[in-house]
A and B are shown apart, each in its own frame.
Chain A
Amino acid sequence: MLEIKNLHATVDGKEILRGVDLTIGDGEVHAIMGPNGSGKSTLSYVIAGRDGYAVTEGSITFNGKNLLEMEADERAGEGLFLAFQYPVEIPGVSTMNFLKTSLNAVRKYRGESELDAMDFLKFVRAQTKALGITEDMLKRAVNVGFSGGEKKRNEVLQMAVLRPTLAVLDETDSGLDVDALRIVGEGVTSLRGPDRSMLVITHYQRLLDYIVPDVVHVLAQGRIVRSGDKSLALELEEKGYAEFTSAAA
């Protein structure tokens, strides 16, 4: 599914990623944990194709294709999805319209027919129920005036609508209370499947109670310094990241 080899990336000339190696197989859920400033968000942006990040070395291969040659929208078309840590507000654009435009853009890219308004409405309604997203929310402008929980639920809704093969969840638990965390966690888990892999980026272990990972990695100083099973997350929760930050320095 995803193969990252010796990835080096800089922001404003400063090297943030210093040789990341990561392989995610079909249907696998990997978690990346690490201290602040370790390069977690940079890794998610480089995978998603955000401007301003320069890859100086290494490669990312996604389902056999060179991801780094593609624009962000093409990556989405290929089946990649990034759930934002801070979802962006877009005034004047209704959530419904945004979802429909997005879905149809992706369908068009994949050579599928576009959905008309009626079919789309039916399709979306089926997804919103479990996430506790109301019709009213769909009519409001994208993320404008949404609470922290609503914004993250909206991210999960987009993921449900776009049906990616690889979802990267960037600090999806940040800013959520316990109830919202549960709804979001269960929402994501319900989307797990043999053809859908996930990369869950998080600082804390608590999200992994809901989205149970197959593999846990520790990212520190721009490199993956340790990998293990889900028990590694619990260990980190207990001991913190001190050993990695001091060892790497």
Chain B
Amino acid sequence: MTMALSETSQVFLDRYAELRGRLAGADLPWLAKIREDAANTFRVTGVPTPRMEDWKYTNLKALDALELVFAARPAEVRADMLPAKLGDGPRLVFVDGRFRADLSDSLEIGEGIRLASLADLLSADPGFIEPRLADFGDNATGAPMLALNGAFQEDGYVIALDANADAGAAIEILFWDTAGEAAAVRQPRNLIVAAANSRAEIIERHMGAGSSRQFFNGATLITLDAGAAIGHYRVQSQGAGSVHVNTIRTRIEADARYESFILAEGGEVARDEVQVGLMAAGAYARLDGIYLADGAQVLDSTTTTRHAAPNTTCQETYKGALDGTARAVFQGAIRVEPGADGTDAQMSNKTLLLSDDAEIDTKPQLEIYADEVKCAHGATTGELDAEAMFYLRSRGIPEVEARGILVEGFLDEVTEAMDDTPFAHLVRGHVAAWVGRGVKEKEMKG
């Protein structure tokens, strides 16, 4: 197959050819080969276009308009310029895609728990990293953004838990972007390795100073051995002009539990994609998300769940509110393999449209090859309830606040399932700030 590569795709390949000898770990032959293979996979299709089924609703052509800057520029960032830590746990800070040990905090949290940067481990302990990166599947066709990440991979976070290790307080990962004229390219590659019966909660925040713009193309590989439990909670609030693509691949073994949550509100075009494999009996995944979009934003939530063993469970709830001419995409694929009897798969997507021009494209996709399966999916789209609006306003609550109350109430189904954790507070704070954004504008004008 020959396909003319877009100009932007060619820019990536040219920069790869130029930079490959200088990337972290360039001297490791196995890593050089992974990168080279990934670059070759990317070369087949280039940046995905709406002609690819998986990218039908989300167009990355916004990338063409960005002036992409690859070289890491040293940023003057002090700890007091960063958002406050969320809790008592450790924090790993990445500034413009680079790990900053000087800004990170309490990384030694106990026996059997390793928190580090990928770049550091590539020099300190490449033997630990090699089998895990090799396992990533960068060369799978149909995943060009993962392949692009694979070609440029050199830094990211690594969280490795030995058997029975318990990380305790949530581990915070902060990806902080500094402001710049052009769009900085960040392609972190992260690893979460949870050995049998280990547990950790990880909070990932993607944000930037002021008018920061980025092309963020991250990838995270997660493995949960039998009985492990990982909570993986993310807030994506990158700068308004950013393009954000994040791909997460999780393998879940027997009786292990993976809980994912994404609050997406940033960027011009953003996609959060979670692919989970439920590999052995008792494997459990919960995938939840909230998307909040305004202006001309496009926010995409894509999930792929593969039930590869009997008695596996996945529960999925995504809800969002859209204003202006914003558009959201929800793609939820569930595949139940032959023999995966006792599968329980529940998927729900609900969207509140706050303007006539907002739009949701929702695409459930079920492939079921087993007989005894409980599968349910539902999608609804609605507008604000006029009766409820009048009720609130008749109680003295002005229009913008009343809308906010109804939006928060609508999203409560997702947030109330969260325990009273620092992350739950963070999410509620983001939701409240988003619904209140009109009030602030109004007061400033008034």
Contact = CB atoms under 8 A, between A and B. Distances in A.
Given A73-B399, A101-B401, A93 B412 contact: yes
Interface in A91-116: 91-93, 98, 101-103, 105-106, 109
Interface residues of A, number: 30
B413 interface: yes
Interface in B367-419: 385-388, 390-399, 401-402, 405-406, 408-413, 416
A126 interface: no
Contact of A73 (B386, B387, B398): B398
Contacts of B409: 90-93, 141
Nearest to A161: B395
Nearest to B416: A92
B408 A105 contact: no
Nearest to B411: A92
Given A92-B411, A93-B412, A109 B399 contact: no
Interface residues of B, number: 25
A82 B409 CA distance: 23
Most chain B beta carbons < 10 A, residue from A77, A81, A89, A101:
A101
Contacts of A49: 393-394
A50 B394 CA distance: 8
A195 B410 CA distance: 38
Interface string B16-47: 00000000000000000000000000000000
Most chain A beta carbons < 10 A, residue from B388, B397, B410:
B397
Given A71-B399, A73-B399, A93 B394 contact: no
Contact of A90 (B391, B393, B416): B391
A84 B391 contact: yes
Given A71-B399, A105-B396, A51 B408 contact: no
Given A93-B405, A101-B401, A88 B395 contact: no
Nearest to A144: B409
A72 B410 contact: no
A180 B83 CA distance: 53
Given A50-B390, A51-B386, A51-B390, A91 B412 contact: yes
Contact of A88 (B387, B397, B405, B413): B387
A87 interface: yes
Interface of A: 48-51, 71-73, 75-77, 81-82, 84, 87-93, 98, 101-103, 105-106, 109, 141, 158, 162
Interface of B: 385-388, 390-399, 401-402, 405-406, 408-413, 416
17 contacts: A48-B394, A49-B393, A50-B390, A51-B390, A73-B395, A73-B397, A82-B394, A87-B391, A88-B385, A88-B387, A92-B408, A92-B411, A93-B405, A98-B392, A106-B395, A106-B396, A162-B395
